[in-house]
Structure 1
Amino acid sequence: MQSTPRNPSNRPRIRDARDPDRCAQADARPDRTGQVDSGPVTHRLSFGTVRNDAELEAQAHNEALAFNTPYDSCVSWLRTTRDHVRVVRAGRDVVGGLVQYDMGLFLGGRSVRNFGIAGVAITPTARGRGAARSLMAATLSELHDAGVAVSTLYPTTFTLYGRAGYAVAGHRYQYRLPLAGLGRIRASGELRRQAPETDAGGLARLYRRLAASRPGWLDRNEHIWQRVHNHPAGRDVHGYVLPADDGAVDGYVVYTLGAVGRYPYDLKVRDVQVAHPDAARRILALFSDCRTLARHAIWYGPLDDPLLLAVPEVGTEISIAETWMLRIVSVGAAFTERGYPAAASARLDLDLTDDILPGNAGRWLIEIDGGEATVNRVDQDPGPDTLRMDIRALGSLYTGHLSARRLAGMKAVRGSAAALEQADRVFAAEPPSMPDYF
Structure 2
Amino acid sequence: MQIRDLTPGDLDAVLDNRKRAFGPLPASSAATWRALVSPVLPEGRYLGAFDGGRLVATSRINHYEQWWHGRALPAGGIAGVTVAPEDRGRGVGGLLMRATIERCAELGHAVSALYPTTTPLYRGTGWEHAGARLRVTVPAEGLRALAPRDTAVAVRRAGPGDVAAIRALLGRLHAATRACGPVVEEERVLRLWLEDDDDFSYLADDGYLLYRWDGDGLDVDNLVAGSEATARALWSLVGSASSVAATVTATVEPDDPMLWLLRDRSTDTVKRTGWMFRIIDLPAAVAGRGYPAGVTLDAVVEVSDPQRPANSGSWRLSVAAGRGEAVRAGRSSGQGLRPGEDVTRLTIGGLSALFAGVQVSALRRAGLLTGGAPATDDLLACAFAAKPYMIDYF
TM-score, length basis structure 1: 0.80
**Conserved in 1, the CA contact under 8 Å of 2:113 and 2:277?**
yes
Q: How does 1:340-379 map to 2 (within 5 A)?
A: 340-379=291-330
**Conserved in 1, the CA contact under 8 Å of 2:356 and 2:388?**
yes
2:237 is paired with a residue whose SS is: helix
> Which letter does structure 1 place at the counterpart of 2:287?
T
The match for 1:216 is 181
**Conserved in 2, the CA contact under 8 Å of 1:352 and 1:363?**
yes
**Mapped pair 1:156 → 2:107:** no
The match for 1:418 is 375
**Conserved in 1, the CA contact under 8 Å of 2:143 and 2:235?**
no
**Conserved in 1, the CA contact under 8 Å of 2:131 and 2:388?**
yes
Deviation track 1:66-123 (CA, whole Å, cap 9, x = no partner) reads 1113275154443243232111111222211111112211112211111111010112
- Number of aligned residues: 377
Q: Aligned match of 1:120 in 75, 78, 81?
A: 81
> Which letter does structure 2 place at the counterpart of 1:129?
R
Q: Aligned match of 1:239 in 189, 201, 205?
A: 201
Q: Aligned match of 1:386 in 343, 346, 357?
A: 343
With over 3 angstroms needed to count, the CA separation of the structure-2 counterparts of 1:183 and 1:365, relative to structure 1, is: closer
The match for 1:135 is 96
Q: Residues of 1 paired with 2:37 and 2:185: CA distance?
A: 19
State the Cα RMSD in Å: 2.3
Q: Residues of 2 paired with 1:146 and 1:285: CA distance?
A: 42
Deviation of 1:302 after TM superposition, in Å, equals 1.2
2:180 is paired with a residue whose SS is: coil
The match for 1:437 is 393
Q: Aligned match of 1:253 in 209, 221, 236?
A: 209
Q: Residues of 1 paired with 2:160 and 2:10: CA distance?
A: 35
Q: Which stretch shows the higher mean deviation, 377-386 or 283-292?
A: 377-386
The match for 1:202 is 165
Q: Which stretch shows the higher mean deviation, 323-332 or 213-222?
A: 213-222
Deviation of 1:230 after TM superposition, in Å, equals 4.9
Q: Aligned match of 1:315 in 263, 266, 272?
A: 266
Q: How does 1:185-196 map to 2 (within 5 A)?
A: 185-187=146-148, 188-189=151-152, 192-196=155-159
Structure 2 stretches of 5 or more lacking a match? Answer: none
Deviation of 1:207 after TM superposition, in Å, equals 1.6
Q: Residues of 2 paired with 1:75 and 1:196: CA distance?
A: 22
Deviation track 1:250-304 (CA, whole Å, cap 9, x = no partner) reads 3232211123xxxxx1111122111211111222322332111001111112121
Q: Which stretch shows the higher mean deviation, 367-376 or 352-361?
A: 367-376
**Higher helix fraction: Structure 1 or Structure 2?**
2
Q: Aligned match of 2:67 in 106, 111, 136?
A: 106
**Conserved in 1, the CA contact under 8 Å of 2:144 and 2:237?**
no
Deviation track 1:156-185 (CA, whole Å, cap 9, x = no partner) reads 111111111100110111121112466645
With over 3 angstroms needed to count, the CA separation of the structure-2 counterparts of 1:379 and 1:208, relative to structure 1, is: same
2:246 is paired with a residue whose SS is: strand
Runs (4+) of structure 1 exceeding 6 A deviation are: 380-383
Q: Residues of 2 paired with 1:285 and 1:367: CA distance?
A: 45
**Mapped pair 1:58 → 2:17:** no
**Conserved in 2, the CA contact under 8 Å of 1:206 and 1:275?**
no
Q: Which stretch shows the higher mean deviation, 110-119 or 336-345?
A: 336-345
With over 3 angstroms needed to count, the CA separation of the structure-2 counterparts of 1:198 and 1:181, relative to structure 1, is: closer
Deviation track 1:208-267 (CA, whole Å, cap 9, x = no partner) reads 111222100113322552465255xxx61122333xxxxxx13232211123xxxxx111
